[in-house]
Structure 1
Amino acid sequence: MTVAPSWVQHAIWWQVYPLGFVGAFPAESPAGPGEHRLRRIADWFDHAIELGVSGVALGPVFASRTHGYDTTDHYRIDPRLGDDDDFDYLVAEAHRRGLRVLLDGVFNHVGLDFAHYQQAPHDESSARWFRGRPGRFHTFEGHSELITLNHRNPDVVEYVVDVMVHWLQRGADGWRLDAAYAAPQKFWAEVLPKVRDRHPEAWFVAELIHGDYAAVVDAARFDSATQYELWKAIWSSLNDGNFFELDWAMQRHNDFVDRFGPLTFIGNHDVSRIASRLERPEQVAHALVVLLTVGGVPSIYAGDELGLRGVKEERAGGDDAVRPEFGSPPPQLDPADVQVWELHRYLIGLRRRHPWLHRAHTKALRLDNRQYVYQTRHGDDALLVALNIDDKPLRVKLSELEVGQAQVVAGSAAPPPETVDAVAVEPHGWRILRSV
């Protein structure tokens, strides 16, 4: 088991998909030589600071033909975004504000313009970079434009190590490893220790979807993994009125937290936005409360804090709605979106005031389909969280939960910060309390 850098205990990410964020893809025309769109992201860093996050998790920024996940040159900034100077500026502006920078690396497969793929038909050494043989190379999940690398080739191993080290030396603080589940665990277990030898403070989070996250993290030497199980349970339990599903996922989550700090989220660039996913708009608050009171490393997808909506569709261009262009800050918000913004700021602030939540376990104290009270605890520190999605109020004496008096910390309907001996939550509301 690897030990993540200490700074990760305080990490809260703001995730940005650069090509969409700056209007580089899809685009009517390619960027001109004088355009430096990557710098537009830095214009939003003060917004990120006001939100309360500690780092910016960037989507793909390297040269590609289309959406960024068909990398053609891992050493080159995508010309649609800018150049090396723009990357250096972005990192410097982030670090000047105390923000970490996470890069998105696609090392399972490459795009059609990748140099070794172009050379493979007439160069045996280049052909060995890929699985299969020229004309019949393996592709990623049936996408003919995504060519799977041969992770058993020592040249591929050294290439990936060198790419990671190169950008860490340029100022990045870590890597998200796209489609990490598709590459052999032995490959990652060979690559990552070599990178850590050079950059022991770097953090590596794997994109995993299904399976035994903890076992994969251990075997592959990752620091973290994307917690899709919890993401699904959050929105599904709210839509279905089935907190038993959420509680089951929370129990699984406890096991993961014992082994590593999972990357938790209720939105990212690959899924419908939480405001569109949930059937009742007020339940965005319930989802956010769960995200920011459970163990792990939380991530906010840029725009969710502004109440943006967007549905991912299974078709060509189906991601565009969840990867929109952002204009110049500050954003113009209607009253409902202001409430979403303020709720994000408050709950992120609560998270930062209680850094022990990074390693917290949850325990159900009261559970039925539409009402859920759980304790989130690490050592002597604890909070009580009550979620109510029923049409009737939730009221339970703290003594029945084997909890003493508690002070209301936050909740719907702006409850006063009073000391209470019972949890009382209006229909479709929520509360967070602290033991006194």
Structure 2
Amino acid sequence: MSNQKKIIIYQIFTRLFGNSNNQCVPHGDIHTNGCGKLADFTSKALGEIRQLGATHIWYTGLIEHATQTDYRRYNIRPDHPAVVKGKAGSPYAIKDYYDIDPDLAKDIPGRMKEFEDLVQRTHRNGLGFIMDFVPNHVARQYFSDALPEGCKQLGEDDDKTRAFAPDNNFYYIPGTSLQGNFDMKGTASEPYTEMPAKATGNDRFDAYPEVNDWYETVKLNYGVDYTGGHRHFFTPVPDTWHKMLDILLFWAAKGIDGFRCDMAEMVPVEFWEWAIPQVKKQYPKLMFIAEVYNPSLYRDYLHRGQFDYLYDKVGLYDTLRAIVCCQESATAISRRWQELDGISEHMLNFLENHDEQRIASDFFAGDARKAIPAFIVSACQNVSPVMIYFGQELGERGMDAEGFSGRDGRTTIFDYWSVDTIRRWRNGGSFDGSMLTNEEKNLQAIYRRILNLCHTEGAIRQGAFFDLTYVNQGGWRFNEHRQYAFLRKWGKEVLLCVVNFDPYPADVAVNIPLHAFEFLHMPELEQCRATDLLSGESTTLSFVSYRGSEVSVNGYSGKILKIVLP
């Protein structure tokens, strides 16, 4: 049997992971609230993450970004507070593409060495290293202090008298200063000024961004003339393309294993088609993950753009969330994978990330256990990668009012803060479990079990899939709106997976059609032994096309029944 592993990504918001301060105050600065460091990712911490089942860590927020913390004594230019969101700042308002954020370093002048050490430490502990690439926009006051010799600053040679020029790095509103409809002064003595105004990162091509815009960022120019609709991609290749390729190659040379590319669909697919093959020519195993939300672009960004994986947000995530919240029928799961015909293995499944509300928050399910059946589907339905967000496996609620982020059910990306469940799980770096509740330990054990099954079971890792929805509709012993069932098969091993989105137990009879036995090359078995891989319990099962397979499933739970064929 192949020993390949399913890709399982553990996303961590880097500055929050190691912060042990349990008395943070809203809007607190780094001195009051503290900040986690790269050094907090010890071999012990990385080993615990690997034991959970992760194959890769996505360290979110590594690259230097705009902040209200003053690092002038380290020759880092300060940012005007009016164009920084929160005290810590957004990790997607990149201030220097060639540097590591100083917040993350114990020895700030040695921050790149600390990063390089973390890459090596991650690899020594058997994990891949993923970092962000943010290509669409930068901080309003972008300036690279660490610019490699021979490179030019973004915008250094721009013609600022033109709204668009093919070789400009930015878009301008000539003759007009920035007049944002937000607080342009903040805590500074003088308001922020920008002349001429640059276009804002969320495609706002005027001088008047509002508080709900990405007002702290400016849009990069990849050769698309938004004023006339023309696209200037070749003869010559736009200057921004060359600068971005250099940045990708700079970080790839550090030995990382992948890039998660922020808002990739806001950058023309032609750039990716040009850049990714050049990077992969030198680093063929490097993984590219795209944040793409428009399904009509999926195949273009995979086939032309050469991405390895895309976010499955508007498909599987939105559907599973709606089912968990009793707003959608479980039959919708079938429609989602059918829409991905031919590309499902290239979709990244998840139930949480830094953009989305926590499952256990009041804004989502209110209870992390309610999403266990959804997580079984997300992790086990197909061979594609799955991602969890740090604290998800502990039921982190994300209900703090941290500062700029507010009480929104998300873990802040703008503020200096400490994550309750992670802080107690770490317990000063011991990871001894003594600070966790029994409920948290049980939830973590369920996640660990499911994620590790993704590696040990060939049927999940690389097996065939058969959806049983169409033969289980309208039956009196299967509620297709609140239960979902499917098969996975590899070699002589078959998994019958049944999940129950309802709070109360269900005794179901799962119909398996003759076509499934033919399609998956399975014999019908009047009686067979089946082991539930989640509980370890064995049962006798009828595995035939002419009678339903009887399965009892607890509320907010599921069973993965393994049958070894003769």
Q: Same fold (TM over 0.5)?
A: yes
Q: Give the aligned partner of residue 73 of structure 1.
A: 96
Contact 1:140 1:147 in 2 (8 A): yes
User: SS in structure 1 opposite 2:352?
Assistant: coil
Alignment pair present for 1:146 and 2:217: yes
Q: Is the counterpart of residue 129 in structure 1 residue 169 in structure 2?
A: yes
Change (3 A) 1:232 1:85: same
- Residue 394 (str. 1) matches residue 422 (str. 2): no
Q: Secondary structure at the match of 2:487?
A: strand
Q: Deviations over 1:63-109 (max 9, x none)?
A: 11112100011110011112111101211111111110001110111
SS at match of 1:246: helix
Report how many aligned residue pairs link the two structures. 425
Which residue among 6, 14, 17 is the counterpart of 2:13?
17
Deviations 1:306-359 (A, max 9, x none): 12112599x941478424534333252101111111101111111111255355
Give the structure 1 partner of residue 269 of structure 2.
185
* Counterpart residue number, 2:397: 309
Cα displacement (A) at 1:269: 0.8
What CA deviation, in whole Å up to 9, does each residue of 1:116-170 have, x standing for no partner? 4675788789981013445243222232221111112632112211111111211
Indicate yes or no: 2:215 matched with 1:215: no
1:375 and 1:382 in contact (8 A); partners too = yes
- Equivalent residue for 2:80? none
2:122 alignment counterpart: 94
Structure 1 residues 256-314: Cα deviation after superposition (integer angstroms, max 9, x where no partner): 22xx521111111110112232255432221221122122101111111112112599x
Structure 1 counterpart of 2:550, one-letter code: V
State the match for 1:204 in structure 2. Answer: 288
Post-superposition shift, 1:20?
2.9
Corresponding residue for 2:552?
425
Distance 2:46 2:510 in 1: 44
Q: Percent identity?
A: 22
Corresponding residue SS for 1:339:
helix
CA distance in 1, matches of 2:281, 2:287: 12
Aligned counterpart, 1:59? 60
Which protein has the bigger helix share?
A: 1
Name the residue aligned to 2:181: none
Secondary structure of 2:375's counterpart equals helix
Match of 1:173 in 2: 257
1:335-393 CA distances to partner (integer Å, 9 max, x unpaired)? 11111111011111111112553555341243411122212346765421111234462
Q: Partners of 1:354 and 1:46 in 2: how far apart?
A: 21
- What amino acid maps onto 2:539 in structure 1? E
Measure how far apart 1:215 and its partner are: 3.2
After alignment, is 366-375 or 221-230 more displaced? 366-375
Give the stretch that moved more between structures: 89-98 or 149-158: 149-158
1:426–1:252 Cα change, 3 Å: same
Determine if the alignment matches structure 1 residue 236 to structure 2 residue 322.
yes
Equivalent residue for 1:322, pick from 387, 411, 417: 411
Structure 2 residue runs without a partner (length 5+): 67-88, 106-110, 144-152, 175-195, 203-212, 224-236, 474-479, 518-523, 543-548
Task: For 1:128, give the aligned amino acid.
Answer: N
Give the structure-1-normalised TM-score: 0.87
Structure 2 residue 533 is the aligned partner of structure 1 residue 410: yes
Task: Provide closer, same or farther for how the CA distance between residues 7 and 199 of structure 1 changes in structure 2, counting only shifts above 3 A.
Answer: farther
Give 1:283-362 correspondences, 5 Å limit.
Answer: 283-295=370-382, 296-310=384-398, 316-318=404-406, 321-323=410-412, 325=418, 326-327=422-423, 328-329=428-429, 330=431, 332-355=435-458, 357-359=460-462, 360-362=464-466
Give 2:245's match in structure 1, choosing from 142, 148, 161.
161
CA distance in 1, matches of 2:137, 2:18: 25
Moved more, 108-117 or 385-394: 385-394
- 1:245 alignment partner in structure 2: 332
Give the match for residue 353 of structure 2. Answer: 268
1:41 deviates by: 2.8
Structure number with greater Rg is 2
- Look up the SS of the partner of 2:377 in the other structure: helix
Residue type at the aligned position of 2:452: G
SS of the residue corresponding to residue 143 of structure 1 reads coil
Distance, in Å, in 1 between the alignment partners of 2:512 and 2:329 is 25
Amino acid in the other structure paired with 1:70: A
1:384 aligns with 2:412: no
SS in 2 for 1:263: strand
CA contact (8 A) 1:265 1:299 kept: yes
Q: Deviations over 1:208-260 (max 9, x none)?
A: 12323233321211111011111111121122261022222132345422xx5
